[in-house]
Structure 1
Amino acid sequence: MIHYQITPKNLNSHLFSVALSFATQVGKTYHLSLPAWLPGSYMIRDFAKNITEISAYSSDQETTQPIEAVTLNKTDKQTWQLTATSANTTICYQIFAFDLSVRTAYLDSERGFFNGSSTFLQVQELPDERCQLTIALPQDLAAKASTPLNSWRVATGLTRAKGTDKYQLGDYIAKDYHELIDCPVAIGNFDAFEFVVEGVTHHLVFTSQHFGDRERLKADIAKLCQHHINLFGEAPFKEYWFITHLLGSGFGGLEHKNSTILQASRFDLPNPNRPDETSENYQTFLSLCSHEYFHAWNVCRIKPKEFIPYNLQHEVHTRQLWAYEGITSYYDDFSLFRSGLISFEDYLLQLSKTATRVYRGQGELKQSVSDSSFDTWTKFYQQGPDGVNNIVSYYTKGALIALWLDLTIREKSAGVYSLDTLMRELWIHFGRTNIGTGEEDFINIANILCNDDITADFQALLNNAQRVELAPLLKQVGIAFTARKFKKLNSLETTDNNAYAPYIGAQYSALPLGVKITQVIENAPAAQAGLAVNDILLAVNNIKVTEKSLQQLADHLPENTELTCHYFRDDQLMTSHLVFIDSPLAAIAITEVDRTLSEKWRCKN
């Protein structure tokens, strides 16, 4: 067994101390490395850059105490090499932990967190060795913690060793290195509560102060979990952990086999003073929980053949992320409706926004979702300011393809089967068996369920840069798919009338002084004016710009009005001319027109 011990070393300097001890053969060479990326986040992260000190020692096998130094040579950006001089070797190193995202590690006086992929060196010669992790807190740091260290607890999906109780500091076990790094760990004086679905205990952990309604959180998230377990037919884990970092503002999630790390605003949670209200922010949080929980089946276990096994040392390309993120994105909001957490009208509004995100730019007409999946390492996770114009998201367009597939299967099977059926078949034949999928597997199962050959249409949607024609399919289930004008300048909402709706073709975020441009649609008025991403728009027609004032100005002027605008690009003040035109029909409204027909889609199969 390989033994790891992690201890906060300096809270204010954000340093974890890690010791790695393992049995060695004298004279044998061993290689130690950190992954370059972690599953679910497809970008090279180079976690090894956060190792600030590292050394190796021969050590006593029982106590793992260092005896004498062993030469440790770095062979590349993330790998070290040593030749053993005794029967046991210990590696001591420090990790700088100051990334409160869902991907890396963080430590301060309030809380700690780490993903094993950014924290624990792998002994490359022992990839299948069992691992024991000891989590300890030195009492000499007690005065520096914002809460007493003796109140700090542990939240993780790792198996508790004998003698270590739930939430307790102590020893945890992983069957191998890959399981070790698949179970992130939160430590601190967090809030934690539980609920049970189908005999599985689910833990809700919030790592910072919050004011949310705990009983409602348990009830609502339990409904989502029940929905997903029913869909796949079983829960593939003995317990599940929702671990949420709460901040002033934030959003994100990362899936693991029996847990997820989420990031949200502390005020995204349900307001206990308004028990009947589901705010837009709370709906977004529930959707995030739904998305990451669905991933426990779809990508954590059902996965592309290129990911079996994962090679975390360099990029691993697959053309199937449209299925693993797109199908999951289709189900995240749809499951909120199916679970009774939002109305069908609210669900269609969210689906409309998804379609609008795809339709408003030209990216989907330049890049296929298959290419988008393959190029995620450089074009999606590191997309430039031209993203909306030149690439397509395999999340959003993948969700539309999932909708197309669901409706197509329902139509051709006369309502006997649906995308639910396809997902269950994938689970049985690929998830349970740990056999990776290819594009052809999705197509073959769909053809069987449809009792028809839809290969050509399916492949065209995946491999061509073309629109997903949803209107005819939606019409058959009583839903209208309509292209409309944007209701406001900086919104995805639509207007249902033909009145003039001002448009400049840019998205922006509010700043204390002006607004910061975040997207510019090619050939739109903002682009014609020379505005670019990261410009700070200060004034239009000599009127100070705020998100509100810019909209008010646009609403009070006639179509095609040309106005002088002032903006900062970097530290230079620049001047141009901006024209307000009538909105193009680039916003999508998806609405119910026949309740009886819509039952064909809303029902579960």
Structure 2
Amino acid sequence: MINYSIFPLNINSHLLSVSLSFNAVANKQFTLSLPSWLPGSYMIRDFAKNIIEIDATTSNNSPFTFIKNDKQTWFITSTTDTTITINYTVFAFDLSVRTAYLDNQRGFFNGSSVFLQVEELAEQPCELEIKAPESIKDWKVATGLTRHSSTKKYEFGTYTAENYQELIDGPVAIGNFSCKEFVVEGVTHHAVFTSEHYGDLNRLADDLTKLCQHHISMFGEAPFKEYWFITHLLANGFGGLEHKNSTILQASRFDLPNPNKPDQLTDEYRTFLSLCSHEYFHAWNVCRIKPKEFVPYNLQQETHTTQLWAYEGITSYYDDFSLYRTGIISFDDYLKILSKTATRVFRGPGELKQSVADSSFDTWTKFYKQGPDAVNNIVSYYTKGSLIALWLDLTIREKSNGQYSLDNLMKELWIHFGRTNIGTSEDDFINIANVLCNADIRDEFTQMLHNAERVNLAPLFKNVGIEFTASKFSKLNSVETIKSDEYTPYIGALYSAAPLGLKVTQVVENSPAADAGLAVNDIIIAVNNMQATEKSLQNLAEHLPKNSKVTCHYFRDDQLIENPITFIDSPTSAISITETDAELSQKWRNVPSA
């Protein structure tokens, strides 16, 4: 047994005290290391940079050597058989879903950012003592880690893990949080919120129950005994990270349902439910069904795979589709969401330069470290991967005459790869799809994954009573679409409100914005000598004739730049997806039996 403990050492300085102890053999060198990245977030994060102080002792005071080898590893060797204890301090002030955070309101940590691994003992069972802060008496604990028999739910105390990988897969939140429990298929689920909110937790639990039931029913079983949705609520925030029996989420404080408006489904609440659906689906798809390159994980360096289109793309397909299937949103609303997804893929030329397989492989540098050229030169394996998942679903349904769907493919993957912890290859997806289709779709499927080209959804949609058409953008700063021949102004940039004007967030190449010299992070302060706001720019564009050229003033760093910009008619690089035949669309809307 490797014994760990963690304690809020200094809340106001954001310091966690961590220790671990293990039995060492005389003259055997042990390697201590902290991961460079954590599963689900594919970027080198160098968690060891937050270790402030570190030292070691032996139980019998025998001589030992303790040497730092590189940025994240240490070597320790004792001259006798003894118990070695490592004590260190971690700076915790990153309120993301990835690292660790501590202040006088709450605490949180992912094990990968705070617990050193003894590499030679990585498969040994672990015991973790989570200690309460001395100065605060009403804090509780929320974690998916297994509780020791002496520790009750929500209590500080002792938790266990079968090995180091399981230890770091159980993130922990501490604080005076609120929690709503609900049960699905005999599994207790916990919706935890680490800061103040005003949401209707009963309604949230009802909606989450529907989504969790959908996912469990699709895969045929829940692979966990309990599940934790742990959410950090901020003024503004969005994100999530999956774990085997929990997820860490980040959302805005008022994204939760309004208790005074029980029939209202805001875009913000719908997006939060989609996020919950996405991360919960990951409990099967990537936490257990995973690429062969991740079995086992090597968290010391980048691990490349071309399969993230499946693990994030298929999950992204189901996160919103399940909202429709469970009755939370209408089919028309789902098609509007799908239109936005397709538009995000089609609006820039990036998908014609990078395949989803390459996007998956290069995620470490090109997706997680996106530059200002992203919309023009890369494609998201999330969004385009979800379109490929949609293509695969419709293809399987068509070729099997409605007998099978993507649901069946996912269940087969679960049975043969998830339960057995055997990593997948690209061929595994193709082979299962071929069986379900009773046809060979390898060439078309492989080309779609490895070529930088459009996903041809229109013919498949037509067969199920859906129209997939190129359309215009309805507004300057939006991916909303409109099917119209009327003039719709366009400049080819997206932006957000900034103190001085509008901060540019995207510029499509060869667009009027690009021709005006605009670049990401520029601040537009005036157009046509009028102060630039989202409303004023839209109003100006709508009142000027087509192809009007006006003066644009913007700051780049501290330099004021003046260039002309032209409002042109919107290109048809947006996508509208609408239902044309309700009877035919049942072929897609209904879930076929296996």
TM-score category of the 2 structures, normalised to the smaller one: over 0.9
Q: Which residue of 1 aligns with 2:84?
A: 89
1:383 and 2:370 matched: yes
Partner Cα separation in structure 1 for residue 133 and residue 227 of structure 2: 29
Q: Which residue of 1 aligns with 2:66?
A: 72
Partner Cα separation in structure 2 for residue 72 and residue 93 of structure 1: 13
Superposition map of 1:442-591 within 5 A: 442-591=429-578
Partner Cα separation in structure 1 for residue 415 and residue 489 of structure 2: 51
Post-superposition shift, 1:26? 2.5
Matched residue SS, 1:76: coil
The amino acid across from 1:239 in the alignment is E
1:106 and 2:101 matched: yes
Listed one character per residue, the Cα deviations across residues 365-402 of structure 1 (whole Å, up to 9, x for unaligned) are 10100000000000100111100001100000000000
Structure 2 stretches of 5 or more lacking a match?
A: none
Partner Cα separation in structure 1 for residue 32 and residue 78 of structure 2: 13
Partner Cα separation in structure 1 for residue 272 and residue 7 of structure 2: 32
1:266 to 1:138, Cα distance in 2 relative to 1, 3 A: closer
The amino acid across from 1:45 in the alignment is R
Q: Which residue of 2 aligns with 1:56?
A: 56
1:170 and 2:157 matched: yes
Partner Cα separation in structure 2 for residue 453 and residue 160 of structure 1: 49
The amino acid across from 1:14 in the alignment is H
Q: Which residue of 2 aligns with 1:10?
A: 10
Post-superposition shift, 1:327? 0.3
1:425 and 2:419 matched: no
Partner Cα separation in structure 1 for residue 120 and residue 415 of structure 2: 33
1:135 and 2:130 matched: yes
The amino acid across from 1:89 in the alignment is I
Contact 1:30 1:84 in 2 (8 A): no
Contact 2:8 2:16 in 1 (8 A): yes
Q: Which residue of 2 aligns with 1:283?
A: 270
The amino acid across from 1:244 in the alignment is T
Partner Cα separation in structure 1 for residue 33 and residue 347 of structure 2: 44
The amino acid across from 2:71 in the alignment is K
Post-superposition shift, 1:59? 2.6
Partner Cα separation in structure 1 for residue 83 and residue 438 of structure 2: 61
Matched residue SS, 1:264: strand
Partner Cα separation in structure 1 for residue 342 and residue 280 of structure 2: 23
Partner Cα separation in structure 1 for residue 495 and residue 24 of structure 2: 57
1:41 and 2:35 matched: no
Listed one character per residue, the Cα deviations across residues 275-313 of structure 1 (whole Å, up to 9, x for unaligned) are 001100000000000000000000000000000000000
User: Which range moves more in the overlay, 221-230 or 85-94?
Assistant: 85-94
How many matched pairs?
A: 591
Partner Cα separation in structure 2 for residue 131 and residue 370 of structure 1: 37
Matched residue SS, 1:458: helix
Q: Which residue of 2 aligns with 1:436?
A: 423
Identity %: 71
Matched residue SS, 1:457: helix
1:250 and 2:237 matched: yes
Listed one character per residue, the Cα deviations across residues 181-201 of structure 1 (whole Å, up to 9, x for unaligned) are 000000000001200000000
Superposition map of 1:320-399 within 5 A: 320-399=307-386
Partner Cα separation in structure 2 for residue 379 and residue 241 of structure 1: 31
Structure 1 stretches of 5 or more lacking a match?
A: 61-66, 143-148
Partner Cα separation in structure 1 for residue 422 and residue 185 of structure 2: 26
Listed one character per residue, the Cα deviations across residues 247-273 of structure 1 (whole Å, up to 9, x for unaligned) are 001000000000000000010000000
Post-superposition shift, 1:69? 8.0
Q: Which residue of 2 aligns with 1:121?
A: 116
Partner Cα separation in structure 2 for residue 496 and residue 376 of structure 1: 34
Q: Which residue of 1 aligns with 2:220?
A: 233
The amino acid across from 2:214 in the alignment is H
1:68 to 1:568, Cα distance in 2 relative to 1, 3 A: farther
1:563 to 1:68, Cα distance in 2 relative to 1, 3 A: farther
Post-superposition shift, 1:70? 4.7
Post-superposition shift, 1:71? 3.8
Post-superposition shift, 1:30? 1.1
Partner Cα separation in structure 2 for residue 197 and residue 44 of structure 1: 36
Partner Cα separation in structure 1 for residue 10 and residue 59 of structure 2: 25
RMSD: 0.9
Partner Cα separation in structure 2 for residue 488 and residue 106 of structure 1: 39
Post-superposition shift, 1:150? 1.4
1:471 to 1:187, Cα distance in 2 relative to 1, 3 A: same
Contact 1:252 1:264 in 2 (8 A): yes
Post-superposition shift, 1:403? 0.4
Listed one character per residue, the Cα deviations across residues 399-458 of structure 1 (whole Å, up to 9, x for unaligned) are 000000000000000000000010011001111111111000100011111011111100
Partner Cα separation in structure 2 for residue 93 and residue 71 of structure 1: 17
The amino acid across from 2:189 in the alignment is H
Matched residue SS, 1:424: helix
TM superposition score normalised by structure 2: 0.99
Partner Cα separation in structure 2 for residue 52 and residue 556 of structure 1: 59
Post-superposition shift, 1:81? 1.0
Contact 1:152 1:188 in 2 (8 A): yes
Contact 2:63 2:78 in 1 (8 A): no
Structure 1 segments, 4+ long, off by >4 Å, are 67-70
Post-superposition shift, 1:83? 1.1
Contact 2:549 2:567 in 1 (8 A): yes
Listed one character per residue, the Cα deviations across residues 225-244 of structure 1 (whole Å, up to 9, x for unaligned) are 00000000000000000000
Matched residue SS, 2:402: coil
TM superposition score normalised by structure 1: 0.97
Matched residue SS, 1:150: coil
Partner Cα separation in structure 2 for residue 198 and residue 85 of structure 1: 54
Q: Which residue of 2 aligns with 1:64?
A: none
Matched residue SS, 1:530: coil
The amino acid across from 1:318 in the alignment is T
Partner Cα separation in structure 2 for residue 351 and residue 536 of structure 1: 31
1:84 to 1:302, Cα distance in 2 relative to 1, 3 A: same
Contact 1:58 1:85 in 2 (8 A): no
Matched residue SS, 2:228: strand
Post-superposition shift, 1:85? 4.2
